[in-house]
Amino acid sequence: MSDTTPYFPTIEAVKAAAKKLEGVANVTPLVSNAQYSSAYDCNISFKREDLQVVRSYKIRGAYNKMSSLTKQESANGVVCASAGNHAQGVALSCKLLKIQGTIFMPTTTPKQKIERAKMFGEHFVKIVLTGDSFDDAYNAAIKDCTEREKTFIHPFNDEKVIEGQATLGLELIHQAPAPIDYVFVAVGGGGLASGMSTVFKLLSPNTKIIGVEPEGAPSMKAAFQKGQVIELETIDNFVDGAAVKRVGDKNYAICKSNLHDMITIHEGNACQTILDLYNKEAIIAEPAGALSVSALEAYKDEIKGKNIVCIISGGNNDITRTAEIKERALLYSNLKHYFIVTFPQRAGALREFVVDILGPNDDITHFEYTKKVNRENDVAVVGIELKSQHDLEPLIAKMKEDNFYGDYLNEKPELFQFLV
Give me the active site residues, please. 58, 313
Provide the phi-psi class of 282: left if phi over 0, else alpha when psi is between -120 and 50, else beta.
left
Which residues neighbour 204 within 8 Å (Cβ) at sequence distance 6 or greater?
A: 173, 179, 180
DSSP string, 252-300: HHHHHHH-SEEEEE-HHHHHHHHHHHHHHH-----HHHHHHHHGGGGGT
Q: Would you call 371 helix, strand, or coil by DSSP?
A: coil
Measured CA to CA, the distance from residue 287 to residue 294 in angstroms comes to 10
Buried b (16+ CB within 10 A) or exposed e, 274-285: bbbbbeebebbb
Task: Report the chain's terminal Cα–Cα distance, integer Å.
Answer: 49
Backbone φ and ψ for 199, nearest 5 degrees, come out as -60, -45
Q: Would you call 337 helix, strand, or coil by DSSP?
A: strand
What percentage of the chain's residues is helix, strand, coil (to nearest 5)?
A: 45, 20, 35
Buried b (16+ CB within 10 A) or exposed e, 147-175: eeebbbbbbbbbbbbbbbbbbbbbbbbeb
Measured CA to CA, the distance from residue 213 to residue 105 in angstroms comes to 21
Handedness of CA 258, 263, 267, 270 (dihedral sign): negative
Question: Contact, 389 vs 351, CB < 8 A?
Answer: no
Provide the phi-psi class of 119: left if phi over 0, else alpha when psi is between -120 and 50, else beta.
alpha
| Nearest in space to 8 (alpha carbons), one of 169, 148, 116 | 169
Measured CA to CA, the distance from residue 249 to residue 242 in angstroms comes to 16
Buried b (16+ CB within 10 A) or exposed e, 331-364: bbeebbbbbbbbbeeeeebeeebeeebbeeebee
